[in-house]
């Protein structure tokens, strides 16, 4: 959510930003919110004047009563009572107008960074750099669920009976590999100075609307019936929510946290060949990283965050590339975003395994995450990035470490988490 003062003073910049995100249907909202904001401030001023007048008159009443001028005091009391009715109406009107302003401001997209390429959707995202050498082996690489099945490592049929499509049982060495990757990612981030955290896996609605747009919420979140609780779609939500309505001393920044959690997503509209197996599912586990920092440090932290993921995949012998998300592919709260994509020898192309985002002060403004320092109070900047998200990450791991005889190599970095195994077979 952008600053209403910025919108008030720079309506054309806000409109151009909406155009750059190809959301022209939202253009009328800018003028609408300016009119509502003006009316709201006018109403507030009228209410403030009445409150100030009531305070002054109340003093007069006290003075008159002390002087024994009861009739004059009663006349002023009657005036105060009439103004009280007007004040109540103004306060009600003010609350309604402010709620309307807030509702619209929650829909207007955040101002994107000038470096973001302009494009309509993810087909216009821009490759930045490749890391590692993508290899296509001489032998045919099976579909990932077939690789897992050869190790008796997955049971989709039983999961379908128990929970429906989009769920799975992982078994044996594949389940162990899944947990090993999560544990390795946890220690990798701890070694980089991040504090490990296991957060709540459910969050309240005020946190949900603080960390994401309404469209994202509708497409992703599962709500607990009869309660003000949602299952998290990523631990970023509850990790950023940890700082809701707080004032952080400047010297305590940055806050750098890495978290484990299960994640739950509706995945509305997920169809196609690559949806088979465990590519796009309703439940998965993830290691995440988040940063709460000073505004002037957010660019530096953004580059550090995505580099962490690139480095981790490099230690697991998985080639990756970074992709700059274009304007039309950015969620409304994001200032800038980079996807990390892993190489798929089977598909002979890259696919997304993580996303790094700088949200500026949008989440902090919604959640009232403030910083206090020598220059007063201001909103923090928040960032997040995926460390690893198996089982999707397992797809990249299995395809890139598969041998022609069907065995799978275990990279040196992961062997301590796999009981010293060099291969699974």
For the CA atoms of 189, 195, 198, 202, the dihedral, rounded to the nearest 10 degrees, stands at -100
Which residue has 């309307």 as its token pair?
A: 100
- pLDDT tens-digit series, residues 327-383: 999 999 999 999 999 999 999 999 999 999 999 999 999 999 999 999 899 999 999
The residue ranking higher by pLDDT, 310 or 212, is 310
Give per-residue burial for 41-57: e unless 16+ CB within 10 Å, then b: bebbeebeebeeeeeee
With cut-offs at 50, 70 and 90, classify the pLDDT of residue 275: low
With cut-offs at 50, 70 and 90, classify the pLDDT of residue 73: low
Helix (H) or strand (E) segment spanning residue 304: helix 298-315
- pLDDT tens-digit series, residues 19-68: 999 999 999 999 999 999 999 999 999 888 888 877 777 667 676 676 77
What CA–CA distance (Å, rounded) separates 273 from 290?
A: 33
Q: Are 5 and 105 in contact (CB under 8 A)?
A: no
Q: What are the domain boundaries of the chain?
A: 4-105, 122-424
Arithmetic mean of pLDDT, 79-95? 81
Q: Are 387 and 189 in contact (CB under 8 A)?
A: yes
Q: Does domain 4-105 have CATH number 1.10.645.10?
A: no
Give per-residue burial for 228-262: e unless 16+ CB within 10 Å, then b: ebbbbbbbbbbbbbbbbeeebeeeebbbbbbbbbe
Q: Are 399 and 277 in contact (CB under 8 A)?
A: no
Average pLDDT, rounded, for the chain: 92
The DSSP call for residue 404 is: T
pLDDT for 272: 45
pLDDT for 269: 54
Q: Are 270 and 392 in contact (CB under 8 A)?
A: no
The residue ranking higher by pLDDT, 187 or 274, is 187
Per CATH, 4-105 and 122-424 having the same topology is answered: no
Phi/psi zone of residue 114: left (φ > 0), alpha (ψ -120 to 50 degrees), beta?
A: alpha
DSSP labels for 158-221?
HHHHHH-TT--EE-HHHHHHHHHHHHHHHHHHHHTTPEEE---SEE-HHHHHHHS-HHHHHHHP
With cut-offs at 50, 70 and 90, classify the pLDDT of residue 105: very high
pLDDT for 395: 95
Q: Is 273 a residue whose pLDDT tops 50?
A: no
Q: Does domain 122-424 have CATH number 3.30.930.10?
A: yes
* Angle value at C-alpha 278, between 212 and 207, nearest 5 degrees: 15
Minimal CA–CA distance to 281: which of 420, 144, 127, 401? 144
What are 186's two structure tokens? 């946890």
The angle that helices 392-400 and 172-191 make with each other, rounded to 10 degrees, is 100
Q: Are 332 and 408 in contact (CB under 8 A)?
A: no
Give every CB contact of residue 303 below 8 A, 6+ residues apart in sequence: none
């Amino acid at each position: 959510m952008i600053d209403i003062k910025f919108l008030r003073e720079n309506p054309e910049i806000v409109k151009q930003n909406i155009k750059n995100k190809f959301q022209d249907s939202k253009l009328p909202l800018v003028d609408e919110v300016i009119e509502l904001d003006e009316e709201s401030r006018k109403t507030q001023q009228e209410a403030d004047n009445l409150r100030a007048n009531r305070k002054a008159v109340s003093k007069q009443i006290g003075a008159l009563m002390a002087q024994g001028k009861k009739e004059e005091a009663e006349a002023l009391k009657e005036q105060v009572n009439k103004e009280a009715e007007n004040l109540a109406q103004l306060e009600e009107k003010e609350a309604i107008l402010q709620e309307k302003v807030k509702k619209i401001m929650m829909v207007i997209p955040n101002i994107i960074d000038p470096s973001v390429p302009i494009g309509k959707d993810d087909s216009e995202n821009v490759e930045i750099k490749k890391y590692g050498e993508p290899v296509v082996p001489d032998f045919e690489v099976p579909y990932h669920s077939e690789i897992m099945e050869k190790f008796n490592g997955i049971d989709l049929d039983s999961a379908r009976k128990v929970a429906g499509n989009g769920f799975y049982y992982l078994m044996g060495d594949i389940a162990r590999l899944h947990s090993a990757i999560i544990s390795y990612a946890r220690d990798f981030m701890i070694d980089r100075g991040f504090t490990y955290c296991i957060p709540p896996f459910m969050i309240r609605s005020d946190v949900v609307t603080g960390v994401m747009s309404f469209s994202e919420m509708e497409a992703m979140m599962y709500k607990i019936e009869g309660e003000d609780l949602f299952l998290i779609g990523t631990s970023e939500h509850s990790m950023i929510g940890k700082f809701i309505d707080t004032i952080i001393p400047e010297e305590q920044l940055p806050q750098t946290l890495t978290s484990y959690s299960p994640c739950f997503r509706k995945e509305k509209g997920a169809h196609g060949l690559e949806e088979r197996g465990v590519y796009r599912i309703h439940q998965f586990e993830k290691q995440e990283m988040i940063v709460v920092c000073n505004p002037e440090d957010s660019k530096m932290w953004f580059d550090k965050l995505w580099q962490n993921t690139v480095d981790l995949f490099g230690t697991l012998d998985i080639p990756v590339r970074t992709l700059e998300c274009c304007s039309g592919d950015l969620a409304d709260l994001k200032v800038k975003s980079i996807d990390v994509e892993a190489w798929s020898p089977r598909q002979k192309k890259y696919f997304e395994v993580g996303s790094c985002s700088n949200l500026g002060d949008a989440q902090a403004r919604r959640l009232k995450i403030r910083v206090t320092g020598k220059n007063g109070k201001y909103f923090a900047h928040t960032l997040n990035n995926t460390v690893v998200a198996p089982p999707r990450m397992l797809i990249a791991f299995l395809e890139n470490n598969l041998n022609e005889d069907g065995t799978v190599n275990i990279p040196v970095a992961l062997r301590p988490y796999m009981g010293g195994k060099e291969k699974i077979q």
